[in-house]
Amino acid sequence: MYDLGGIVLSIVIVNYAAAPFMLLSVKDSLTCWSRLGWYGHIIIFGALLFFYGGGTKYFKQLQKERGIAPPGKSANGTATPVTSLAVPPLDNIVPPAEK
């Protein structure tokens, strides 16, 4: 259900956001969005308000309660240890030029 909802919501928002590119005028775009009830703006700003207003904490707490919390973050703030991101020396990738 989550994946299907995400796909449908993405299609709906992209179609809403594409209207100004088809109409090519500010007046027509505002008229179009007005007739659509500004649903794209409401969805986007509603989600921003929810997550900045504490929705992230709520979902993290919900994950803890259900026992499905993601792994903790490392000291640098990522879930991936720094050692696994080490880049090999350039000499191992490109042999040094002969003089």
In this predicted model, what pLDDT tens digit does every residue of 9-43 receive, in sequence order? 999 999 999 999 999 999 999 999 999 999 999 99
CA distance 29 to 25: 6
User: Of 16, 18, 53, 60, whose CA–CA distance to 38 is shortest?
Assistant: 16
Q: Where are the domains of the chain?
A: 2-69
For the chain, the average pLDDT equals 85
Give the pLDDT band (50/70/90) at residue 4.
very high
Res. 96: pLDDT tops 80: no
Res. 97: pLDDT tops 80: no
